[in-house]
Amino acid sequence: MRKIFLLLFSLTFLSSCAQSTALLGPAITAGNTGSVMQASFSYGSNMAVKNVTGKTPGEHAASFVLERKEKKRIRKEIVSYLETHIEVMRKKLSLKK
């Protein structure tokens, strides 16, 4: 009970921090590279992509990965179906002889 209360309490207060972390990425880039120009270009290009497409570059990457997983899943289902269909047809053909 105490853990649940602590978790809910911390989530309530930490959820308001999400808006202020939007500029954290460029600040880290500027801190690591020492180049304000590179950090501003990174932030500007990310915002341009978001304004044009409605998704952040991270969301684009995530959707790409999900699409590939879905295609692989569908492909496995088709292969499985075809393998079972081939087995059934072979059995039917072998009974006719």
CA distances from 75 to 3, 4, 30 (A): 44, 42, 44
Is the predicted pLDDT of residue 22 greater than 60, yes or no?
A: no
pLDDT digits 0-9 by tens, 34-51: 677 777 777 888 888 888
7 or 54, higher pLDDT? 54
Burial class (CB in 10 A: 0-12, 13-18, 19+), 39: buried
**pTM, two decimal places:** 0.48
- Asked if 30 contacts 39 with a C-beta cutoff of 8 angstroms, the reply is yes
Is residue 73 very low, low, confident or very high in pLDDT (cuts 50, 70, 90)?
Answer: very high
Every domain of the chain and the residues it spans: 28-96
